[in-house]
Structure 1
């Protein structure tokens, strides 16, 4: 290749690059519409989130009371064993210690199952709330012509925070 041909080729590439940059400038000069939403606040303070919390409390309150009663029963058994240890025969003391230990293991198992069930149901309920919130966010984005809505950020200027608008729409939809 000749030097002249290389120079023409590189000038052509430079011209194409310059044209592409010039064409892109008007597109990037258009301001992007951005908003932010605090999902944590929605999951904590919105009416659907509060209703889900009440529903969970009603659903799990009986099991919670049963666990509390069982814990008190085990504590009473352990306290009585401690009080009676001095006057009990070795066989009776060991039998009662086993009973307390068995009851405690049963309590621990039930408590673990309770926590697992509660966490699973809480996650299901919050997922439904989040799904509804995301539908509302998409509707607001289309109505207001947002290019981007961020749900988690380190800092959000209150000017672009639309959390209150999302909560109003969610709360209105839950009535």
Structure 2
């Protein structure tokens, strides 16, 4: 009976070790990483170049809008000062002109915002596409099983954003 008990205990021990060994190996084989896309959009040379390109592309229109807004504001202030001494018909005509100018200003500002937003999305999509290629390269080279781009919490040891930024910036040169 002692022999049976000893053999049974040995069998249970070996069986549990056999089950535990693959689990330990699997736990070590799985490799996860995290990339902070917000940082990529702020710090990558391609993202900075895209931002600079957008500023250059839209700066003239933005200046025109600012000037138009300042002119409208000055005209409104002048109207407020002069309205009490104006004839009723003149006041109504001037008020209609200001409303039309304001409507035109609002339309141009809205178009500007829409155009800027569309172009910004185009540029960021290109940066993200390049970044995703680099993330895939890093993942394949360093044998990652999964790379996350959004998470509630990430242990900093899994953050590979610096590696991706370095590779992305090196590839952009």
- TM-score category by the smaller chain? 0.7 to 0.9
Deviations 1:91-150 (A, max 9, x none): 000000000000000000000000000000000000000000000000011101111111
Q: CA deviation at 1:27?
A: 6.5
Matched, 1:26 2:29: no
Matched, 1:90 2:85: no
TM, length-normalised to structure 2: 0.85
Residue 42 of structure 2 corresponds to: 44
Matched, 1:67 2:101: no
Residue 14 of structure 1 corresponds to: none
Q: Distance in 1 between matches of 2:109 and 2:91?
A: 27
Q: CA deviation at 1:86?
A: 1.4
Q: Distance in 2 between matches of 1:115 and 1:87?
A: 39
Rate the CA distance shift 1:159–1:86 in 2: closer, same or farther, 3 A: same
Residue 130 of structure 1 corresponds to: 128
Residue 159 of structure 1 corresponds to: 157
Equivalent residues, number = 154
Q: CA deviation at 1:24?
A: 10
Matched, 1:121 2:152: no
Structure 2 unaligned segments of length 5 or more: list them.
Answer: 1-17
Match of 1:112 among 110, 114, 120: 110
TM, length-normalised to structure 1: 0.84
RMSD value, Cα: 1.6
Q: Distance in 1 between matches of 2:70 and 2:141?
A: 57
Q: Distance in 2 between matches of 1:130 and 1:39?
A: 8
Structure 1 unaligned segments of length 5 or more: list them.
Answer: 1-21
Q: Distance in 1 between matches of 2:42 and 2:152?
A: 19
Q: Distance in 2 between matches of 1:55 and 1:46?
A: 14
Residue 5 of structure 2 corresponds to: none
SS of residue paired to 2:154: coil
SS of residue paired to 1:152: coil
